[in-house]
Structure formats: structure tokens, C-alpha cells
Structure 1
Amino acid sequence: MLILVIGLVIFFSLHSVRMLMPNWRESSMARHGVMRWRMRYGLITLLAGAFIVMGFIQMRASPIWLWFPPIWTYHLAALIMLLSLFFVGSAIVPKTTMKRKLGYPLLIAIKLWAFAHLISNGSLADVMVFGSFLIWSIACFAVYRRRDRKAGVVYDDFDESSIPFNLAAFVFTMLSWFAIVFFLHLAVIGVSPLM
């Protein structure tokens, strides 16, 4: 459990800098250079990710069950993941309607991903990982949106020029969802999401 906690603390400390200290982040990037900042950021993120994965695997080997989710939660989670992947596609593809209207579609994707995995998994390790990601993404989205309102940022409405970008996000969604649900989740995680 300690390895998982250390990984989560490092990961969320690093990924909360922009939320908690945006001026320090910008000044550090200006002082040390953007590339050096990104390299350090990336290396620490990889280290934290490795700790999270190792700790998660250790805890899943001898799980502490908090509840046993019913079968229907797996199917609901798969549907929620379809929506989550659409927000991922909307974040990756430029000029999508979701990006123009919401500003932070990737944070919404993380919220949905974490919620889907919380309802369909009942071990302590799952609650620690997915619960912490859910809380963090909710906090980040609220802080960023509030900061944008204070700065006078205006989110655009639907624009016809967004249609091809929305279609690209939709294609990404469908391809990635089918790949994950029918192949990757079982191959990488060892569990089929459609049990």
C-alpha cells in the first residue's frame, strides 16, 4: 500500500502545480526553459506512474474487498467509457465543439474514466486509485473554470467549422473504444470489461 500512496502523492503533487501555483509554474518554465521543465515533469510523472502501477499490482494480488459490484456495473462502465473516450478525442483533436464549449474536455474524460472504474470495481486499491483521480479531476476542473471566468475567458458555442473536427473525435472514440473493450483491456489488464 505504501508504494501506491507514494506514487499517488508524487503524481498529484506534480499535476496540481498548475492548479495551485500557476505563477510559480510559469516563472519556473521561463527561468529553466520550457524543454527542461517538460523533461523533468515527464520523468517525475513516469516515476510516479511506475510507483502507482507497482503498488496497484501488489494490492490487487491480495485484495481488500470493500464491496462486490454487480455484473451490470461492468456494462454501465463500458458505456461511460465510450463517453469518456469521446472527451479524450475532443481534447486531442483541435477545434472541437467540446473544447470550444468546455475548455477542459480531458478533465471531464478523467472524471468519467474514474467514475466508471469506481462503480465496477470494489477493492481498496481501486478506490484509492480511481477515487483520487475523480476527486483531483473535479477539483482541477472547478479551479480552472473559476480562474477562466475571472480572466474573462469566453467559451464559444457550436460553429459549423467544428464539424470535421467533431467527426475526427468521434472516429477516434469508436476505434479506441472497440480496441480497448474487445482486445486491449484484457491483453494489458487481464480483465475483460464485458465479463
Structure 2
Amino acid sequence: MSILISGLILFFAAHVVPMRPALRAGLRTKLGEMGYKAAFSLVSLTGFALIVYGYGEARMAGSPLLYDPPVWLRHVTMLVMVPVFVLLVAAYAPGGRIKAGVKHPMVLAVKIWAVAHLLANGDQASVLLFGAFLVWGIVDRISLKRRGDIGGAAIAVPSKSGDAIAILAGLALYAAFIVVLHEWLIGVPVV
């Protein structure tokens, strides 16, 4: 469990820096733009690798059960996950009303993903992992609002093609996760 916790601390330490504009500006000045991006990426990827390894290790060791969700919540989770993939693609698709309306589709996707997985997983490692991402998503959204970051709302002309890309690619990615990717990447079959 200590590897998972270390990974979460490292990952979120990197992701808190953008929430602190003065700290971020100081690091950019000290390291340069490319140095800042390299350091951010290195710390984030190291934290992410520790999260993945630590979560797998905790699951294999038999993480204590904090609550036992009913089986039907797994079906709810599968349904709630559909917009997550659309939002993930919308965050990077060109234009689109989804991005303009949601403002920060990636942050919303992370929060929905975390809640959905908390519905289906009651072991200590899962609660720690998904709970940490949910808390980060809430704090990040509040931070973005306070900083006046309007995200996707800054797009001048939302395009229907951006929405079509987000919906079609998001649904295709969702289907791929259901059929093969979740088991291949996470080690747990969805169905």
C-alpha cells in the first residue's frame, strides 16, 4: 500500500503546481519552459507508474474490504462510464459544443470516473485511489474557477464536427475498454 500512497503523493504534488500560479511561474523562470515541462512530466509519470504498480500490488495482497457494493452497482458503473470517454475525447477534439459547455471536460471525466469506480469497488486500495482522484478533481475545478480559467468556453466557434469526433471516438474507446482494454491494461475484465 505504501507504493500506491507514494505514487499518489508524487502524482498529485506535480498536479497541484498549476493550481498555484506563483509557484508555477517561479518554477518556469528557474527551470525554463522546457525544463518545467520535463520536470512536470517526469514527476507525473513516475507517480503514475508507482500508482499503477502499487494498486496492482495492493490488490494482489488482498486489500481489506471497507464496504461490499451490490453487484447491480457494476452495471450502473458501466452506464456512468459512457460519458467519461466522450468527455476525454472532447478535451482534445477540435472545437465542439461539448468542450465549450463543459469548459473542462478532462476534469469532469476524472470526477465521473472516480465516482463510478467508487460505486463498484469497496476495497481499501480502490477507495484510496479513486477517492484521491475525486478529491483532486473537485479541488482542481475550484482552482480553475478561482483563476478565471474558462477552458473550452474560450473556443470562438464551437463546431459540430468536434462533437461528432468526441461522441464517435469516445463510444469506440468505451467499447474497446469493455471488450479488451480494461482487462489488458488493468487486469480486471469488465464483463
Pairwise same-fold verdict (TM > 0.5): yes
* Structure 2 gaps, min length 5: none
Change (3 A) 1:33 1:166: same
Residue equivalent to 1:57? 56
1:191 has 2:184 as partner: no
Alpha carbons 2:99, 2:152 under 8 Å: kept: no
Give 1:122 shift. Answer: 1.0
Alpha carbons 1:66, 1:124 under 8 Å: kept: yes
Alpha carbons 2:3, 2:51 under 8 Å: kept: yes
**Partner AA of 1:48 in structure 2:** G
Query: Deviation per CA, 1:14-42, whole angstroms, max 9, x where unpaired?
Result: 101111x1122124224422222111111
Residue equivalent to 1:4? 4
**Partner AA of 1:178 in structure 2:** A
CA distance in 2, matches of 1:97, 1:138: 22
CA distance in 1, matches of 2:151, 2:9: 31
Change (3 A) 1:162 1:125: same
Give 1:154 shift. Answer: 10
Residue equivalent to 1:23? 22
Change (3 A) 1:178 1:153: closer
Secondary structure at 1:148 match in 2: coil
Give 1:68 shift. Answer: 1.8
Residue equivalent to 1:180? 177
**Partner AA of 2:45 in structure 1:** L
Give 1:10 shift. Answer: 1.1
1:93 has 2:93 as partner: yes
Query: Deviation per CA, 1:128-177, whole angstroms, max 9, x where unpaired?
Result: 0000100110111122123218xx99947996x51111001011111100
Change (3 A) 1:29 1:190: same
Is 75-84 or 95-104 further displaced after alignment?
A: 95-104
CA distance in 1, matches of 2:152, 2:160: 20
**Partner AA of 1:116 in structure 2:** A
TM-score by length of 1: 0.89
CA distance in 1, matches of 2:8, 2:143: 20
* Structure 1 gaps, min length 5: none
Structure 1 runs (4+) deviating above 4 angstroms are 156-159
Residue equivalent to 2:76? 76
Query: Deviation per CA, 1:64-98, whole angstroms, max 9, x where unpaired?
Result: 11122222111111111111111111101121212
Residue equivalent to 2:143? 143
Alpha carbons 1:101, 1:156 under 8 Å: kept: no
Is 93-102 or 39-48 further displaced after alignment?
A: 93-102
